């Protein structure tokens, strides 16, 4: 069975240099008051390594106590007792080493996770427009898991192996200098070659795993679209496609088998051959009375320790490289400039604004598309309590206008005034607390209906939530569910219909009680009956509030106080429905007639 590829296996590595290590060491800023656990854990790590290095020496003495020429029962008993004590000490040291490193790592990672998430949600919309959610999620999952594994085990194991290599070579030289020279000229070279060979084989195995995943994708696509496959009589085509995929798997798997066979031959001949060479030379020295049998055994054990550590330290070094790369990618998020928001306490009192809005010669380009002017000297005004309908062709700048009202972006030129003051003078938190949006594609969180409505006012009572639902024409269908407000809506609200999701979003907006309401094509994707119910709820919600309504269906905005037609980022026409319909060759009149003809 092929090895399952871990999520962190394909993480890119970082070169270890002064600059990358300096960046990686920033993680210790998040240690807090747990730093002492790291220091004490390092002490236990050294003690664990020291006791491990003592084992071969003590075993060698124990074997020499059985020398037929000079048997020493008392020494054997004493050494046996000491070995048991060393075993107990090593067990205790290992327990505290693992416990302290895990405790330190989990607390540090928890602080880092909280800091990254807190910073991430405060970043401006321009950042999310230029970065994929999948990539950000990977940094919050795979990268942090890699850091976690490294802090918990990899660094500790790397240091332990390093101590064993240095200490082991010192004991080897002390035991037999000549035998040490032979061992160092053979065993480490073979161990390093085995590591390189093994890593190459793992890459081959991963390639086979990827090809299997590709063939499984073909199965999944075919079965999901089985109706299309049969309708187009493409069973032969799909069968041939899958056959080619399985043939590639076979070819790669056979090639991998050759490499694994060669690796097995390499291990048998080279690695064991190296051990045989060291043992042979050690026996020669023992025959010449230059080495005792116990010292030979001691030497072999130290050789195994050193060889295994040299072989393992290369893989540990690669893991550390990945962790440094992961740390750099996590800190790239923390180095981004966030919006100035206060997310450390729940806002119970909102500093109310009246709701007068004015765009004065606003110019805007998206940071990722500097060559395209989205809003071009746009000017419009909405008085307190007015309903302003925004219409125009796709790409004219309607949604961008709304994004700028929420201050997801700031104007490149011009000014947005709220109650006569520059919008930039308001706290972002206060400004957005006075606004609510009901979008076309409503995103509900995976919890209950109550939790989704309360998102507009987290400290709301159940009575307030029920009243908001009644005003949003949502109470009847909520009460029809067995669990009522505790009904779980499913991921993205999948358990509810489109009209029900819209009414939940409206109830959320009602509960927030905003001064400025934004409706972004809130009914365009609904059927006629759902649209009627939702529109009725929206009409109630807009009373007494400054409302900006982006509309595709012009029939829904005829009662608006003002209709603003935007084209190529600027206002082309403005007025009531009647005024705009009376304009000869007017854009609104043309759009309205086109829709009437399509009905």
CATH number of 556's domain: 3.40.50.300
Domain membership of residue 98 (yes or no) is yes
Alpha-carbon distance of 169 to 179, in angstroms, equals 11
Alpha-carbon distance of 156 to 150, in angstroms, equals 8
Pair 257, 188 in one domain: yes
Domain membership of residue 5 (yes or no) is no
H/E stretch holding 147: helix 144-149
Question: What pLDDT does 365 receive?
Answer: 85
Pair 410, 449 in one domain: no
Domain membership of residue 393 (yes or no) is yes
Domain membership of residue 472 (yes or no) is yes
Contact of 179 with 172, CB cutoff 8 Å:
yes
Integer-rounded Cα Rg, in Å, for the chain is 36
Q: At 309, is the secondary structure helix, strand, or coil?
A: helix
User: How would you write the pLDDT of the chain (599 residues) with one tens digit per residue?
Assistant: 333 444 445 555 556 667 777 777 777 888 878 888 888 988 888 888 888 888 777 777 777 777 666 777 777 788 788 888 888 888 898 888 888 888 888 888 888 888 888 888 888 877 777 777 777 777 777 777 777 777 777 788 788 888 888 888 888 788 778 778 877 777 777 777 777 777 777 777 777 777 777 777 778 778 877 887 777 787 788 888 888 888 887 887 788 778 778 777 777 777 677 777 877 877 888 777 777 777 778 787 877 777 777 767 767 777 777 777 778 788 888 888 887 766 655 555 567 888 888 888 888 888 777 778 888 888 888 888 888 888 888 778 888 888 888 888 888 888 888 888 888 888 888 888 888 888 877 778 878 888 888 887 888 888 888 888 888 888 888 888 888 888 887 776 677 877 788 888 888 888 888 888 888 876 665 666 666 777 777 777 788 888 888 877 776 777 788 888 888 888 888 888 888 888 877 787 887 777 665 54
pTM of structure: 0.69
CB burial of residue 358 (10 Å; 0-12, 13-18, 19+): middle
Pair 81, 142 in one domain: yes
H/E stretch holding 378: strand 375-382
CATH number of 54's domain: 1.20.1560.10
Q: Is 413 left (phi over 0), alpha (psi -120 to 50) or beta?
A: beta
Domain membership of residue 470 (yes or no) is yes
CB burial of residue 104 (10 Å; 0-12, 13-18, 19+): buried
Question: What pLDDT does 2 receive?
Answer: 38
Pair 333, 261 in one domain: no
Structure tokens at 268: 């048998």
Domain membership of residue 83 (yes or no) is yes
Pair 24, 140 in one domain: yes
| Structural domain boundaries enclosing 48 | 13-175+313-341
Q: At 357, is the secondary structure helix, strand, or coil?
A: strand
Structure tokens at 364: 């805007």
Instruction: Kindly tell me the number of DSSP H helices and DSSP E strands found in the chain.
Output: 21, 10
Pair 413, 560 in one domain: yes
CB burial of residue 81 (10 Å; 0-12, 13-18, 19+): exposed
Number of domains the chain is built from:
4
Residue 141 DSSP label = I
* β pairing state of 562-567 and 546-550: unpaired
DSSP-derived secondary structure for 393-461: STTSSHHHHHHHHTTSS--SEEEEEETTEEGGGS-HHHHHHTEEEE-SS----SSBHHHHHGGGSTT--
Structure tokens at 599: 């009905």
State residue 7 phi and psi, 5-degree precision: -60, -30
In the sheet with 387-391, reading across from the earlier edge strand, the strands are 435-438, 516-520, 546-550, 387-391, 562-567, 570-575
Question: What pLDDT does 345 receive?
Answer: 57
Burial 145-160 (b: 16+ CB within 10 A, else e): bbbbbbbbbbbbbbbb
The neighbour count for residue 397, using CB atoms within 10 Å, is 24
Pair 60, 181 in one domain: no
Pair 485, 506 in one domain: yes
Alpha-carbon distance of 262 to 270, in angstroms, equals 11
Domain membership of residue 534 (yes or no) is no
Question: What pLDDT does 12 receive?
Answer: 55
């Amino acid at each position: 069975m092929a090895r399952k590829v871990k999520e962190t296996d394909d993480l890119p590595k970082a070169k270890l240099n002064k600059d990358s290590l300096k960046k990686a060491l920033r993680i210790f800023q998040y240690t807090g008051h747990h730093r002492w656990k790291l220091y004490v854990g390092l002490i236990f790590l050294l003690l664990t390594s020291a006791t491990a290095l003592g084992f071969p020496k003590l075993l060698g003495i124990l074997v020499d106590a059985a020398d037929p020429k000079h048997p020493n029962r008392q020494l054997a008993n004493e050494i046996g007792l000491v070995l048991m004590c060393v075993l107990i000490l090593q067990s205790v040291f290992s327990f505290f080493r693992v416990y302290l490193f895990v405790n330190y790592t989990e607390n540090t990672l928890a602080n880092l996770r909280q800091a990254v998430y807190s910073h991430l949600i405060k970043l401006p919309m321009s950042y999310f427009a230029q970065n994929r959610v999948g990539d950000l999620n990977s940094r919050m999952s795979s990268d942090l898991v890699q850091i976690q594994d490294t802090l918990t085990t990899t660094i500790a194991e790397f240091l332990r192996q390093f101590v064993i290599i240095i200490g082991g070579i010192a004991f080897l030289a002390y035991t037999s200098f000549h035998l040490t020279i032979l061992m160092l000229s053979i065993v480490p070279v073979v161990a390093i070659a085995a590591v390189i060979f093994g890593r190459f084989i793992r890459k081959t195995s991963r390639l086979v795993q990827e090809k299997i995943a590709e063939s499984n994708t073909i199965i999944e696509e075919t079965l999901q679209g089985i109706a299309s496959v049969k309708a187009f009589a493409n069973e032969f085509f799909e069968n041939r496609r899958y056959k080619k995929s399985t043939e590639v798997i076979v070819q790669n798997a056979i090639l991998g088998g050759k490499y694994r066979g060669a690796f097995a031959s390499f291990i048998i001949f080279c690695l064991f051959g190296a051990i045989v060479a060291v043992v042979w030379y050690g026996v020669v020295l023992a025959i010449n009375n230059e080495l005792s049998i116990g010292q030979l055994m001691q030497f072999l054990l130290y050789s195994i320790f050193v060889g295994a550590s040299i072989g393992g330290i290369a893989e540990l070094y690669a893991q550390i490289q990945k962790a440094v790369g992961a740390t750099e990618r996590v800190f790239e998020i923390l180095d981004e400039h966030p919006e100035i928001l206060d997310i450390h306490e729940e806002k119970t009192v909102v500093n109310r604004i009246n709701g007068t809005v004015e765009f004065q010669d606003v110019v805007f380009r998206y940071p990722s598309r500097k060559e395209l002017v989205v809003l071009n000297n746009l000017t419009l005004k909405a008085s307190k309590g007015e309903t302003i309908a925004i219409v125009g062709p796709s790409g004219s700048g309607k949604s961008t206008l709304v994004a700028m009202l929420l201050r997801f972006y700031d104007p490149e030129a011009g000014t947005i005034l709220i109650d006569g003051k520059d919008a930039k003078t308001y706290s972002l938190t206060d400004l957005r607390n006075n606004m609510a949006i009901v979008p076309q594609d409503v995103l509900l969180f995976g919890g209950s209906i109550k939790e989704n409505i309360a998102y507009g006012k987290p400290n709301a009572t159940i009575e307030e939530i029920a009243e908001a639902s009644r005003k949003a024409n949502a109470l009847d269908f909520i009460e029809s569910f067995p669990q009522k407000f505790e009904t779980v809506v499913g991921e993205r609200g999948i358990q509810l219909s489109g009209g029900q999701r819209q009414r939940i979003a409206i109830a959320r907006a009602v509960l927030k009680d905003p001064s400025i309401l934004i409706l972004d094509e809130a009914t365009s994707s609904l059927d006629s009956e759902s649209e009627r119910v939702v529109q009725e709820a929206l009409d109630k919600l807009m009373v007494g509030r400054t409302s900006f309504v982006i509309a595709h269906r012009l029939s829904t905005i005829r009662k608006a106080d003002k209709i603003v037609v935007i084209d190529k980022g600027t206002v082309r026409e403005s007025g009531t429905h009647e005024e705009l319909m009376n304009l000869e060759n007017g854009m609104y009149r043309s759009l309205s007639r086109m829709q009437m003809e399509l009905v």
